[in-house]
Amino acid sequence: MAALINVPSKAKRGEIIEIRTLTSHIMETGFRHTADGKLVPRNIITSFACRYNGTEIFRADLFPAIAANPYLSFFTVAKESGKFEFEWIGDNGYSSTASASITVE
Amino acid sequence: MPTTRRQFLSLAGGVTVAGTIPIVTLRPLEATPAMLNTAIRNIVGEAQIHTGRVKLDIPPLVENGNTVPMTVSVASPMTADDHVKSIHVFNEKNPQPNIGNFYFGPASGRAQVSTRIRLADTQKVVAIARLSDDTFWQIAAEIVVTLAACTEEMN
């Protein structure tokens, strides 16, 4: 699944960096009806996690009140070069991952 | 015994008179609907919620409730001894009171999260932060929504 990740490629040690993520998902609330009155079943991303070299640095529980194509921005301290791993988990067994690397000087 | 019109009217009048004064005097400054309160208590438990420290950036007037940008931040040094554990965001009038729970740690560096949310109606949004000393801090914002989200018909 398509995900857009924005992590600075380089950072100074100890610098606080912003990480921005955007993933494509309908985030169907489960509260909408079709024109003929049927309830559209819920289909949302329920959780998001970001790991920095294996350590979890940010986690989120999402609800139907999060807009379609969930966008999340958060921060972390650049402590060492390595890899960020992102994971989205949702209804109907939805799972999506992405990663980005950073060089810390 | 069938109720006569006279009995009904005098009863209804009595209820109105007796009901008005307590409603006006007992209502707290910020009346939160029961669902919002329950959702908040599920996270906070019996702990006291202080006001302040949390900053909620959200437009006061939005045209489209389907995507409302929101940033929540807490002034915190984010050290191992003094950091923000989590931020919880709630709404008052969507079908469900929760918006999101966001978890941080000392490695976060800054207790701030941005996302885009849905608002079904003109309403209040509440953000509550849990600090490492297990105190809770909150802030509320009123948002006027002209086009609602969540419950409209699908085409």
Cα B29 from chain centroid (whole Å): 14
Task: Return the pLDDT at A34.
Answer: 87
* DSSP one-letter string for B10-56: HHHHHHHHHHHHHHHHHS-SS---HHHHHHHHHHHTT--EEE-SEEE
- List the 5-64 stretch of B: residues with Cβ below 8 A of A: none
Q: Where residue A90 sits, what CATH number does that domain have?
A: 2.60.40.10
pLDDT for the residue numbered B25: 38
Total count of domains within chain A: 1
Task: Name residues whose C-beta falls within 8 Å of residue B117's C-beta, 6 or more positions apart in sequence.
Answer: A65, A66, A67, B67, B68, B70, B89, B91, B99, B100, B125
A36: confidence class by pLDDT, cuts 50, 70, 90: confident
Is A36 inside a domain boundary?
A: no
**Residue A14, SS3?**
coil
| Any domain includes B117 | yes
In a domain, A40, yes or no: no
Is residue B29 situated within a structural domain? no
Instruction: Answer whether B112 sits within 8 Å of A75, measured CB to CB.
Output: yes
* Residue B49 β-bridge partners: B136
Give the tokens for residue B2.
Answer: 């069938």
Asked whether residue B122 is assigned to any structural domain, the reply reads: yes
Total number of domains in chain B: 1
CATH code, domain carrying B135: 2.60.40.2470
Instruction: Mark yes or no for CB contact B107/A40 under 8 Å.
Output: no
Residue B134 placed within a domain: yes
With a cut of 70, say whether residue B151 has pLDDT above it.
no
Contact B99 A31 (CB under 8 A): no
Residues of chain A contacting residue B110, judged by C-beta atoms under 8 Å apart = 16, 75
The range of the structural domain enclosing residue A15 comes to: 3-30+45-104
Question: What is the arithmetic mean of pLDDT over A32-60?
Answer: 93
CB pairs under 8 A between A and B: 111
Structural domain boundaries enclosing B96: 34-147
Task: Please name which of A18, A13, A9 lies closest in space to residue A72, comparing C-alpha atoms.
Answer: A18
